């Protein structure tokens, strides 16, 4: 029994140590993405109700914190997929509606914004 407990504790320790944390670069990218959402003037639909972008940012930051604390994120794409695409409770997709346009799935909106950010960052790095 002791041997079993020893191996169980060792396995838990190794699993916890193996949980990768979010890199500072990815965290900076996520923060920039959420700031873009906040200043976009868009509305955010969560579980059938529309919220201002600043409220959406606060909600997504709390989900980010939850996932970060558990070592469940390694990239911005994972953040979009695990935290910013749908409700963890209902499973309903989040939507983003900008300037009276038809709502888009938040996954699409955030991914396109991420591509724009990365393209701009790549353009500034060229000699």
DSSP line for 83-99: TSSB-TTT-PBPEEE-T
Q: What percent of the chain has pLDDT over 90?
A: 77
90 vs 100: CA distance, rounded Å: 26
Residue corresponding to tokens 């606060």: 58
77 vs 38: CA distance, rounded Å: 19
Domain boundaries, the chain: 21-118
The answer to whether residue 1 scores a pLDDT higher than 60 is no
Give the model's pLDDT for residue 92: 97
- pLDDT tens profile 63-78: 999 999 999 999 999 9
> Which DSSP helix (H) or strand (E) runs through 22?
none
From residue 39, alpha-carbon distances to 1, 12, 61, 71 in Å are 58, 42, 15, 28
């Amino acid at each position: 029994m002791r041997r079993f407990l020893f191996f169980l504790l060792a396995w838990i320790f190794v699993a916890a140590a193996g949980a990768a944390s979010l890199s500072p670069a990815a965290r900076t990218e996520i923060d920039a993405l959420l700031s873009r959402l906040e200043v976009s003037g868009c509305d955010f639909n969560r579980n059938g109700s529309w919220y201002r972008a600043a409220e959406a940012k606060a909600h997504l930051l709390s989900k980010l914190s939850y996932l970060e604390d558990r070592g469940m994120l390694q990239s911005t794409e994972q953040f979009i997929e695990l935290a910013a695409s749908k409700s963890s409770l209902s499973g309903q997709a989040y939507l983003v509606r900008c300037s009276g346009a038809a709502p888009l799935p938040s996954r699409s909106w955030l991914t396109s914004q991420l591509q724009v950010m990365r393209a701009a960052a790549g353009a500034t790095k060229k000699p």
